[in-house]
Amino acid sequence: MTKQRHALRGALTLAVAAGVAVSALTGTGTAQARGTASGPGGADRARLSQLLHRLTTVDGGPGALLHLRDRRGDTVLTSGVADVNSRAPVPRDSSFRIGSMTKPFVATVVLQLVGEHRVSLDAPVERYLPGVVRGEGNDGRNITVRQLLQHTSGLSDYLSHLNPQDILKDPLAHHDTRDLVGIALAHPPTFAPGTGWHYSNTNYLLAGMLIEKVTRNTWNEEVRRRIITPLGLRATSAPADDPAIPGPHPRGYVRPGPDAPLMDLTAFNPSVAGSAGAMISSGGDVDRFLDALVDGRLLRRAQLQEMMRTRPTGDSGGRAYGLGLESRPLPCGGLYWGHGGDVFGYETVGGATVNGSQATVMVNVDPGGTDAQSDDMRTAVQTALCHGRSALAGLRPPGSGVTED
């Protein structure tokens, strides 16, 4: 989502100049580790502490949270502030917008429908959404469901053609999914279906429309019925137009550039993200979802294997993309599975290993200051997964402002 973050900054600068209310950020960086973790000391534990501290100092985030879960329990690390005006700390049970972390939820529902023989992965999109994908060389008769979920359809990303300033002028406005898809279809495909890989949020708007056509329920209702309720994810929701974030949560901020002041955009209508990125969750809930997913409790074996059948993305870090789920190599060996997400005000990265460890990191600014934020978030997740709860013990490197209780 880095390209989108750069695209947002120019429009945000104009909005700030036009008089949108902003707040200054000063003096963040105090971190607290909460939990009962214990274990040997080491450079890796210090590294994780430094990364959380870095997210709220050098990287410019107001606040950050890391939730680590393994077979021995949960540990939470927070840094910085939830509100730049009140200076309140980040609640350890924070809810936040998870952006494209919504995609694994949506892909899971589609794959459940595949397991129920109601959808075929290799059927054309036209079978389920007749006449919808048309124009400028785009043709749903030549694009499969699998290609939507794996970003190999070649469809243009509607966000690349959407002016963020229009959203800022009226952040509570409703955005119709068909209209958003139409923005993408007014542009030619990036490549012929199946011949390349290009991350496109348009794919997942169409996946949500497919769910609705097959089930006759909204994608939000199906995610709630099939995933949120069975797993008891109390902090997770799939809102349609509700601009509020329920429960304890940090404020969400945007910053047009590294030296620009912050703008509070906690409340906005998530319909502009829809089934590509509208969901709300918490660190603990994301971890529980990823655990259930990779452990095979949400999908039948055949569909989970399809989800984990990845293709390279060209990323230098070894990122490979399956069906709404991506893998990355761990520095300690092996792979982890997860996704990232950014949406106005929040960035999230979550990952899980097949042996029962999960970690999720949240920062309450997006667009942020630099791309280093995303890199440091991924590194924190990888460090946590490699070293488990022992990575969070003894978090007191000199001068970091980190405390443990």
Residue 282: how many other CB atoms lie within 10 Å: 26
Residues belonging to the active site: 100
Cα–Cα distance, 306 to 95 (Å, whole number): 30
Cα separation values, 229 from 118, 201, 236, 285, Å? 22, 26, 9, 12
Number of domains in the chain: 1
Report the distance separating Cα 240 and Cα 220, nearest Å: 7
pLDDT per residue as tens, the chain (405 positions): 444 444 444 444 334 333 333 333 333 444 554 443 333 234 666 787 789 999 999 999 999 999 999 887 898 899 999 999 999 999 999 999 999 999 999 999 999 999 999 999 999 999 999 999 999 999 999 999 999 999 999 999 999 999 877 888 899 999 999 999 999 999 999 999 999 999 999 999 999 999 999 999 999 999 999 999 999 999 999 999 999 999 999 999 998 766 778 999 999 999 999 999 999 999 999 999 999 999 999 999 999 999 999 999 999 899 999 999 999 999 999 999 999 999 999 999 999 999 999 999 999 999 875 679 999 999 999 999 997 644 444 443 333 333 232
Q: Which range of residues forms the domain containing residue 153?
A: 2-404
Asked whether the bond before 367 is cis by omega within 30 degrees of 0, the reply is yes
Q: Three-class SS string for the chain?
A: CHHHHHHHHHHHHHHHHCCCCEECCCCCCCEEEECCCCCCCCHHHHHHHHHHHHHCCCCCCCEEEEEEEECCEEEEEEEEECCCCCCCECCCCCEEECHHHHHHHHHHHHHHHHHCCCCCCCCEHHHCCCCCCEECCEECCCCEHHHHHHCCCCCCCHHHHCCHHHHHHCCCCCCCHHHHHHHHHCCCCCCCCCCCCCCCHHHHHHHHHHHHHHHCCCHHHHHHHHHHHHHCCCCCECCCCCCCCCCCCCCCEECCCCCCCEEECCCCCHHHCHHHCCCEEEHHHHHHHHHHHHCCCCCCHHHHHHHCCCEECCCCCCCEECCCCEEEECCCCCEEEEEEEEECCEEEEEEECCCCCEEEEEECECCCCCCHHHHHHHHHHHHHHHHHHHHHCCCCCCCCCEEEC
Instruction: Assign residue 94 the CATH number of its domain.
Output: 3.40.710.10
